[in-house]
Amino acid sequence: MHPQHLIFDADDTLWENNIYFEDAFDRFCAFLNHSKLTPDQIRATLDEIEIVNNKIHGYGAKNFARNLAQCYRHLCERGIEEDDVKQVMSFAEEILNAPMELMPGVEETLARLGEAHELTLFTKGNDDEQHGKINRSGLRSYFDHCEIVKEKNSPAYRALAEHRAFDLDRTWMIGNSPKSDINPALEAGLRAVFIPHERTWTLEREEVPSKHERLVCIKTFSDLARIFL
């Protein structure tokens, strides 16, 4: 295969991420101890808050802490104490200290792919948080370029491709999120490789095309080797 431009998502593609947010949410539900609402109903309320706030404040553990605090104030059935709000926020803030757990086969696959192709890391979120994770992962050296943006939508992909002078026919977005990785990349004219993650964040879930000439679906990160090597 001729050299390709391979663009990689980070969270839940290269390493585990959403599992820590889910754990924080479970602890939040237990602390809230609502008399009527189920966790799914609480999650629906939190989703509404996040949809609004993410457009203003972006993503990441610190912003998630703010969202949990707002959700707590909205749903709490008892008098709201500031110490309780701080406790709720701490569930999210502790995500910053979560272990860095790479997906199986990531490092060895990146090392092999980097010998034949140009690798880019393209992620969204808080700059400090994302750079911190990239550094702790030990993977930065495998990438020719790392970029963090507020949103990964089709204009963002077109801007990246133009800035890096990518040939779209040889450019692939690789990730787990239909909403941020696959669908907008295809819309921008890139190719894409979808690696599903069973615990992808609910707000990142969408249908991907059942058949698309520029889309490949695989089961594991290591499967990239049979596509590109």
Confidence of residue 79 (pLDDT cuts 50, 70, 90): very high
Q: Which amino acid is at 126?
A: N
Q: Which amino acid is at 218?
A: I
Mean pLDDT value of segment 9-33: 97
Return the pLDDT at 210: 82
CB 193 within 8 A of CB 78: no
If one counts every other C-beta atom within 10 angstroms of the C-beta of residue 84, the result is: 17
| 128 in the same domain as 30 | no
Confidence of residue 1 (pLDDT cuts 50, 70, 90): low
Number of domains, the chain = 2
| 183 in the same domain as 105 | yes
Question: In terms of DSSP H, where are the helices of 58-170?
Answer: 61-75, 82-93, 106-114, 127-137, 154-163
Mean pLDDT value of segment 65-69: 97
Question: In terms of DSSP H, where are the helices of the chain?
Answer: 18-32, 39-57, 61-75, 82-93, 106-114, 127-137, 154-163, 183-187, 224-228
| 170 in the same domain as 91 | no
Sign of CA dihedral 79, 58, 98, 104: positive
Full-model pTM: 0.94
| 208 in the same domain as 114 | yes
Mean pLDDT value of segment 205-221: 93
Sheet containing strand 191-194, strands side by side: 145-149, 118-124, 5-8, 171-175, 191-194, 215-217
> pLDDT digit string (tens) for 88-118?
999 999 999 999 999 999 999 999 999 999 9
Percent of the chain with pLDDT over 90: 95
Residue where the block lists tokens 């090392």: 111
| 182 in the same domain as 139 | yes
| 110 in the same domain as 88 | no
| 111 in the same domain as 11 | yes
| 145 in the same domain as 110 | yes
| 216 in the same domain as 110 | yes
Q: Given 42, 72, 97, which residue is the final one in a domain?
A: 97
Q: Given 69, 97, 125, which residue is the final one in a domain?
A: 97
Q: Given 58, 78, 97, which residue is the final one in a domain?
A: 97
| 119 in the same domain as 31 | no
* Domain of residue 89, residue span: 18-97
